[in-house]
């Protein structure tokens, strides 16, 4: 009953108005691993970082969250970084210094759910190993995928589109942003692209749109939820928090694991709406705080039950 998350971990160097305001542990897959661990889920995390000061900070951060770092994850020559430049709205533009590769089979128990995405899905040479691992786990685990396109690290757009297409075909649940879909297929609407992906094999395709809320499609139809009203500090980790909430809610409903694939494919619109509401709440709580500071279960439950409100200015 554990999750395996495969992907990059790095240090976000945050800048606002040309000045560095802080350094935070980050990376889309790492955020998902930490987010699930904070919600009390068992998580194994496979990555590629260095045995240096920044790498040790990441190791400590994972340990404090309750996530387990898979052996062999600290063999990089240096720990990756991402320079996150914030605009006046708190939205971030990124520049990356990252080397992504994997070797061998992770020393971890067979997972209930295997998640990957972002640079791990497209960055050479590790993307090939990532795809092979996801394929190997598909017969026993639910596969979740977030493309989380990073144009700054993409050199061959056509090759990336092919790789993402193959991962879409092998995934059970996909979370993508409106920006991802517009980059991948600018000639079709978000709904058209989501439905075309659904026909390739996934059971759920969820699409986030920031303040426009989110929608998801499944065999039964589609549902949409509004964004939670909240004062945004920055959007770092917002999509990862949504993914975390999505996976956690499906876990709570007993829809993860290959044996539950038929039930996942037959998810009702009411259940899918509930799942999206949970994901949207996780995202709202994250953007109300600086950096990718995903909520723990107590915080999210309190907000869900109304005992603690979302941060709003008066």
Q: Is the dihedral of CA 36, 38, 43, 44 positive or negative?
A: positive
Nearest to 63 by CA among 9, 109, 114: 9
| pLDDT for 221 beyond 80 | yes
Residue 87's pLDDT band (cuts 50, 70, 90): confident
Please state, rounded to an integer, the average pLDDT across all residues of the chain.
92
Tens digits of per-residue pLDDT, 247-260?
Answer: 999 999 999 999 99
Residue of higher predicted confidence among 311 and 96:
96
What pLDDT does residue 312 have? Answer: 57
Q: Which of the residue ranges 103-117, 236-250, 251-265, 274-288 would you say has the lowest mean pLDDT? A: 103-117
Residue of higher predicted confidence among 286 and 88:
286
> Quick check: 7 and 27 in contact, CB under 8 A?
yes
What pLDDT does residue 186 have? Answer: 95
Nearest to 28 by CA among 210, 244, 192, 222: 244
What pLDDT does residue 73 have? Answer: 94
> Quick check: 223 and 276 in contact, CB under 8 A?
yes
Biggest alpha carbon–alpha carbon distance for the chain: 53
Tens digits of per-residue pLDDT, 194-219?
Answer: 999 999 999 999 999 988 999 999 99
pTM: 0.92
Nearest to 104 by CA among 48, 55, 32: 48
| pLDDT for 261 beyond 90 | yes
What pLDDT does residue 308 have? Answer: 54
Structural domains present in the chain: 3-304 (3.40.1190.20)
């Amino acid at each position: 009953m554990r999750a395996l998350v495969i992907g990059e971990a790095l240090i976000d160097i945050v800048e606002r108005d040309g000045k560095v305001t802080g350094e935070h542990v980050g990376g889309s897959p790492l955020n998902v691993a930490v987010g699930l661990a904070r919600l009390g889920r068992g998580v194994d995390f496979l990555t590629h970082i260095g045995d240096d000061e920044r790498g040790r900070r990441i190791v400590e951060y994972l340990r404090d969250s309750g996530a387990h770092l898979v052996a062999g994850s600290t063999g990089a020559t240096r720990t990756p970084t991402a320079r996150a430049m914030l605009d006046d709205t708190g939205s971030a533009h990124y520049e990356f210094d990252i080397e992504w590769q994997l070797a061998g089979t992770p020393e971890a128990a067979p997972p209930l759910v295997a998640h990957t995405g972002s640079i791990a899905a497209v960055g050479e040479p590790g993307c090939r190993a990532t795809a092979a691992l996801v394929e190997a786990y598909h017969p026993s685990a639910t596969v979740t995928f977030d493309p989380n396109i990073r144009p700054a690290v993409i050199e061959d757009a056509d090759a990336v589109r092919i790789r993402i297409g193959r991962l879409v075909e092998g995934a059970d649940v996909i979370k993508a942003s409106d920006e991802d879909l517009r980059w991948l297929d600018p000639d079709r609407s978000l709904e058209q692209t989501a439905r075309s992906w659904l026909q390739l094999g996934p059971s759920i395709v969820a699409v986030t749109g920031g303040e426009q809320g989110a929608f998801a499609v499944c065999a039964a139809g589609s549902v949409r939820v509004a964004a939670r009203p909240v004062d945004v500090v920055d959007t770092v980790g917002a999509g990862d928090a949504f993914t975390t909430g999505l996976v956690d809610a499906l876990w709570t409903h007993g829809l993860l694991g290959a044996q539950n694939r038929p039930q996942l494919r037959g998810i009702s619109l009411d259940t899918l709406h509930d799942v999206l509401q949970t994901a949207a709440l996780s995202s709202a709580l994250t953007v109300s705080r600086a950096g990718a500071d995903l909520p723990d279960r107590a915080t999210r439950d309190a907000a869900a039950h109304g005992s603690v409100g979302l941060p709003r200015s008066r």
